[in-house]
A and B are shown apart, each in its own frame.
Chain A
């Protein structure tokens, strides 16, 4: 398989996954709106999306409208939903031959539809519908690649992109909670506001029901963290993502007659920590520190994969 093809498929998958994640993040922020200072909630979402710095470089205030517009379609935000879709299609077009017809349809039809969207579609009245559409785009792409691709290298690089992006996203969403400062006058940790904020984190990863099925008790911070970090049955948990990442890397290595590199070691090491880690220890050492560490190492892993396979 061409090194450039692996790169294109990896990034195609990442951008498709990223746009879905952004939609979830914005939906969660909308649900939180009104619970505390709106500006605070949206600021935390900008941080989670990794674009607080560029946002404030050209803007002073955070309003729900401006933040949502920025995350959805601002031309100066390279990671906006529409820019993700654009980049996804550029990667898809660069490697048309690696995509199945269904995958191409999923990307191209979304792109054609997006060409007709206007800022009005991202205004508060229309935003929920538009975000629903974004999620169906990601889901359709996911269904298309899983049901139509040959299980060859191209497939495993696509999967690698999906789960690396998802791991990064889950860690960031969980970390949002750290950035949302609890107002002094509220009852603080364990209070009603705290409860709603943790619930909104669950909502951002579509896991409210899953939480109930797994824990059968009210929402508690350490349970939420455990669900999103360590539980293998949770499809967006770090543990699940890293199991998929190592499995994909193993498959690729097997196809290449066992050739392995630093990316295999690094992925395996993180996967093992997640597999054998305990949530109590993580809270003891500091949830934010642990999450920051995983976000950094996930980024490094992306670089190692690229260096080993894509040049």
Chain B
């Protein structure tokens, strides 16, 4: 493993410019104050009810995701680079989806194996020939980035279905501003509060033409027992739209309506937080109690927009991921701005042999896994764990990919012993509408709270941090007040 990049402290012991204010603040604030503030933050989160439900593991079903009070900072130039790369990548992913459900030029050009797309479990044959408004498939994409050096950012994975976490990004900021208003007054931090407004504009931009004024947008949730339920309520509330469950919607003559106290009202755009399989028991899993019978019929008829589009998952499969740089070249004629992590596809015999030989230095992931489950972190695994994993790998090689164990950057994090470096990643949220791409600066920073751990997933002991993107110096130097 290479040397670990500490985002605050340079190798020479110098504090990097972007973190100057954070370093001074940590220096001046007694640990007891920070501890008290952290407790206050926890009380605030409990009170708001921002909990993350994990029902399978026993214990308190309404758990808090730990919040760390030390922000993570990205400077203006770094963000400008990331933003360009994100827009480019998401544009290519949308064009890829439109292509595979349409003319399939990229397959015919031999750039991506046909089987990888058409035999992919996330591929949805019902979407062939359907063209969603604006050609947008992944309206809300969460692109997971990691950093390994001053100028080295990598895309770890793309989330094109229903990425979650944006409510934590927004609540982390509002809790930080409440706890440390002075810090924001001086720092010149880019505001992120407009995310819900951007989301609503994005959703409205893809509404089918309905001829009677404003389209009705709703958020469709699986209900209060879903782990991300808080986020669903939060987004509906912030956008000022109804939060509906499957039972609230009904399809008549291929149009979608919601049941209100005043009878049935038409619905035009559904920001659905239900997986494809459960969306419509008539089209997919017939046992689904969460979905809306007939929804696919209305969707295919063009009478309702779904965000994200059905079948968008074929673009974020971990084996398809390897081909995203090629997509960027193929559809946009540009070189990728953001790098992929070098990846071995175990379906390939040569790659499999290499991976089996180097298990102790690689991270091996299931191509369809998520949430940090079903993966092996070679350097952290025992001999026995590696041997067991090797068996699974030999049995079904096509289900796995492998990547070098990246030395994720660290950021000071407030732990029992005070501020100490912990590994972090970044999930920016990229909104694509018929009228263009919108990103609020930053994203959700996840932090692996256990010392040395590289697993940042909230279901496995990860926490979150407020993420600061600094405004360009010239813009804020003259201003005395910052804002969030």
**A residues at B contact (CB < 8 Å):** 1-6, 90, 93-97, 104-105, 108-109, 112, 153, 157, 252, 255-256, 259, 309-311
Complex partner residue of B248 from A3, A93, A256, A309, CB under 8 angstroms: A3
Q: Which of B241-296 contact A (CB under 8 A)?
A: 242-245, 247-248, 258-262
Q: Is the CB of B247 within 8 A of A4?
A: yes
How far is A114 from B312 in the complex, measured between Cα atoms in Å?
Answer: 44
Q: Please name the residue on chain A nearest to B235 by beta carbon.
A: A97
Tell whether A93 pairs with B245 under 8 Å between CB atoms, given A3-B259, A108-B47, A256-B262: no
Q: Is the CB of B49 within 8 A of A2?
A: no
- Check: B65 CB closer than 8 A to any chain A CB: no
Tell whether A96 pairs with B259 under 8 Å between CB atoms, given A108-B49, A109-B47: no
Q: Is the CB of B261 within 8 A of A97?
A: no
Q: Which of B206-249 contact A (CB under 8 A)?
A: 223-224, 229-230, 233, 236-237, 242-245, 247-248
Complex partner residue of B259 from A2, A90, A94, A157, CB under 8 angstroms: A2
Q: Is the CB of B242 within 8 A of A97?
A: yes
Tell whether A259 pairs with B233 under 8 Å between CB atoms, given A4-B245, A4-B247, A93-B224: no
Q: Is the CB of B258 within 8 A of A90?
A: no
How far is A309 from B259 in the complex, measured between Cα atoms in Å?
Answer: 9
The number of residue pairs between A and B whose CB atoms lie closer than 8 Å in the complex comes to: 56
How far is A97 from B261 in the complex, measured between Cα atoms in Å?
Answer: 16
How far is A104 from B47 in the complex, measured between Cα atoms in Å?
Answer: 9
Tell whether A96 pairs with B237 under 8 Å between CB atoms, given A1-B260, A4-B259, A309-B261: yes
- Check: B46 CB closer than 8 A to any chain A CB: yes
How far is A243 from B244 in the complex, measured between Cα atoms in Å?
Answer: 32
Listed by A's residue number, 15 A-B pairs whose Cβ atoms lie within 8 Å are A1-B262, A2-B242, A2-B258, A2-B260, A3-B259, A3-B261, A5-B242, A94-B224, A96-B49, A97-B233, A104-B49, A108-B47, A112-B46, A112-B47, A157-B261
Interface size for B (C-beta < 8 A) is 21
Tell whether A310 pairs with B261 under 8 Å between CB atoms, given A4-B245, A96-B243: yes
Listed from nearest, the 9 A-B pairs whose CB atoms lie closest are A96-B233, A3-B259, A97-B237, A309-B261, A256-B262, A93-B224, A6-B261, A97-B243, A97-B236
- Distance in angstroms from A168 CB to nearest chain B CB is 22
| Residue among B223, B224, B237, B259 with max Cβ neighbours from chain A (10 Å) | B224
Q: Is the CB of A3 within 8 A of B49?
A: no
Within 8 Å CB of B46, what residues of A?
Answer: 112
Within 8 Å CB of B233, what residues of A?
Answer: 93, 96-97
By secondary structure, the B interface counts as: mixed
Within 8 Å CB of B259, what residues of A?
Answer: 2-4, 311
Q: Please name the residue on chain B nearest to A101 by beta carbon.
A: B48
How far is A5 from B236 in the complex, measured between Cα atoms in Å?
Answer: 13
Q: Is the CB of A256 within 8 A of B242?
A: no
Within 8 Å CB of B224, what residues of A?
Answer: 90, 93-94
How far is A96 from B248 in the complex, measured between Cα atoms in Å?
Answer: 16
Within 8 Å CB of B242, what residues of A?
Answer: 2, 5, 97
Q: Please name the residue on chain A nearest to B258 by beta carbon.
A: A2
How far is A255 from B263 in the complex, measured between Cα atoms in Å?
Answer: 13
- Distance in angstroms from B292 CB to nearest chain A CB is 14
Within 8 Å CB of A252, what residues of B?
Answer: 261
How far is A254 from B258 in the complex, measured between Cα atoms in Å?
Answer: 21
Within 8 Å CB of A6, what residues of B?
Answer: 261
How far is A252 from B262 in the complex, measured between Cα atoms in Å?
Answer: 9
Within 8 Å CB of A93, what residues of B?
Answer: 49, 224, 229, 233
How far is A32 from B242 in the complex, measured between Cα atoms in Å?
Answer: 49
How far is A310 from B233 in the complex, measured between Cα atoms in Å?
Answer: 20
Q: Please name the residue on chain B nearest to A1 by beta carbon.
A: B261
How far is A3 from B250 in the complex, measured between Cα atoms in Å?
Answer: 13
Q: Is the CB of B49 within 8 A of A4?
A: no
Within 8 Å CB of A112, what residues of B?
Answer: 46-47
How far is A140 from B65 in the complex, measured between Cα atoms in Å?
Answer: 29
Within 8 Å CB of B47, what residues of A?
Answer: 105, 108-109, 112
- Distance in angstroms from A6 CB to nearest chain B CB is 5
Q: A1-B262, A252-B261 are in contact. List 5 more A-B contacts (CB 8 A).
A: A3-B248, A3-B259, A96-B49, A157-B261, A259-B262
Within 8 Å CB of A105, what residues of B?
Answer: 47
Q: Please name the residue on chain B nearest to A157 by beta carbon.
A: B261
- Distance in angstroms from A241 CB to nearest chain B CB is 21
